[in-house]
Chains A and B, each alone.
Chain A
Amino acid sequence: MNSVGAAAAQALQLIVGADPKLVAIVLLSLKVSLSAVVIACMVGLPLGATIAVGRFSGRNPVIVLLNALMGLPPVVVGLAVYLLLSRAGPLGGMGLLFTPTAMVIAQAILITPIIAALSRQVVEDAWVEYREQLRSLGETKFGAAMTLLWDVRYSLVTIVLAGFGRAAAEVGAVMIVGGNIDGVTRVMTTAIALETSKGDLPLALGLGLVLLAIVLALNATAYVVKETAQRRYG
């Protein structure tokens, strides 16, 4: 099989050539997935931290539900968001279907449970260590949740990256709500799906390698930043 070699050559050519169309697709992928991660963090991190420090009835079912939602099938999310944003749907009037915004919404829904569930675990572990000290100082539950979130920020980096990875790699939901429109909603994964269906497997695999390279670069940067900071701040 020399198609892997062909794909690698194709990927190299794509990266070196910096084809403007490819650059646009890569930038859109990053914009969409990063926006989704930001929104998912704004919802998921406080949610996870609040559940971590909270003591309320139904807490355990909520945790189980949250953990289960990490496995949400993207196509189901895509379909739900499609029905929501469709002209015939409840939010149809906003005209968001087949726009990058719709893709951001779908990805944010997909990864919010991941961010919330994983940060719940990390914050809860920290809460065991900090609880007496923070209560002694008179900190409120909500204040403690926020303080802990900031204190476990290096561990959160990994969680946020996991969320970003899932968002950037996802194809089912963005295909449905974005429509894979050339120049408007075509991102890396839908472009890969399109090239696969054209039978241009080397190009599809090449695009896949480009996606992998981008995710890898992002992860490496985050890792270095995290490690350096962690060594300095303990």
Chain B
Amino acid sequence: MDDGRIGFRIGSSLLPLRLENVVFAAGERRIIDGVSFDVHAGLRCMIVGPNGAGKSVLLRLCHGLLRPTAGTIRWNAPESPGGPRHQAMVFQRPVMLRRSALANVIYALKVAKVLPEQRKQRALEALHKVGLQALAASPARVLSGGEQQRLALARIWALKPEVLFLDEPTANLDPGATHEIEKVIDAMHAGGTKIVMVTHNLGQARRLGDEILFLHRGRLIERTPAARFFRHPQSAEAARFLEGELPW
């Protein structure tokens, strides 16, 4: 995997993750413009900001789907190239293979080099956790949007990742389905998985977030505990954003 991560393995934990002066440019335009922060285990991070702030790109840089133009992204103990991954990502639109729901989870376990005899059991457990056990044999692509997103979470839960990035996982879902997804995210957090999530939905950020990273025009403007962010944002931009004056 081309994720440009360099570092030394200290202990076995991926975290903390450290970004230093990370820049990502598309041609002349700097989509991410010198961002630095650390991510430690524990708190649920919500990345918010107006439309075009670079939230999704930042998430992809952290996850290794994009390489920074400049700066470093360093994990405490990087994953070995080609080896199983200990971090995962949920996309706005889940991509399911043309197989059964169960087979989709088993596929992810196979890629993660889980022993064949353990895969089915672990996959079934994961489906059970997200409430999809009854649909295990259904073709994944004919499930509803909410069911597919839960399946995406089950696929990841089965992998027991240390860090989970989520890129607006409920953007296309109705409130009922959104609630189901939030329950699963909470349960995974309770199980010890670090949550780093981009969301458009401020109510969701309030419900799920422990701390808020506010991004604007490719820069990290502020990082504040969630409770304080919504009452007393520290930056003028965040205040305007919360008042709905910045484009979403």
With A129-B95, A151-B98 as known contacts, state yes or no: A136 contacts B65, CB within 8 Å. yes
Counted as pairs of residues, one from A and one from B, with CB atoms less than 8 Å apart, the total is 55
| B residues with CB within 8 A of A | 1, 60, 63, 65, 79, 82-85, 88-89, 91, 94-95, 97-99, 107-108, 111-112, 139-142, 155
Whether the pair B91, A132 counts as a contact (CB closer than 8 A) is yes
A143 to B84, CA, bound (A): 13
A129 to B97, CA, bound (A): 11
A5 to chain B, nearest CB (A): 47
Cβ-based interface call for A200 (8 A) = no
Residues of A within 8 A of B88 (CB): 136-137
| Listed residue (B83, B97, B155) with the most chain A CB atoms within 10 angstroms of its CB | B97
Residues of A within 8 A of B79 (CB): 138
Whether the pair A234, B139 counts as a contact (CB closer than 8 A) is yes
B45 to chain A, nearest CB (A): 18
Interface bits A130-165 vs B (CB < 8 Å: 1, else 0): 101101111110010001001101100000000000
Whether the pair A138, B139 counts as a contact (CB closer than 8 A) is no
Task: Give the top 7 A-B pairs by smallest Cβ distance, nearest first.
Answer: A234-B141, A133-B95, A138-B85, A233-B139, A234-B142, A136-B89, A151-B98
Residues of A within 8 A of B89 (CB): 132, 136
B162 to chain A, nearest CB (A): 14
Residues of B within 8 A of A132 (CB): 60, 65, 89, 91, 95
Cβ-based interface call for A232 (8 A) = yes
With A234-B98, A234-B141 as known contacts, state yes or no: A137 contacts B65, CB within 8 Å. no
Residues of A within 8 A of B65 (CB): 132, 135-136
A135 to B79, CA, bound (A): 14
Closest to B110 in A: A143
Whether the pair A138, B97 counts as a contact (CB closer than 8 A) is no
Contact of B107 among A129, A147, A153, A233 (CB under 8 A): A147
Residues of B within 8 A of A135 (CB): 1, 65
B56 to chain A, nearest CB (A): 11
A49 to chain B, nearest CB (A): 15
Residues of B within 8 A of A133 (CB): 91, 94-95
Whether the pair A137, B97 counts as a contact (CB closer than 8 A) is no
Residues of B within 8 A of A232 (CB): 139, 142
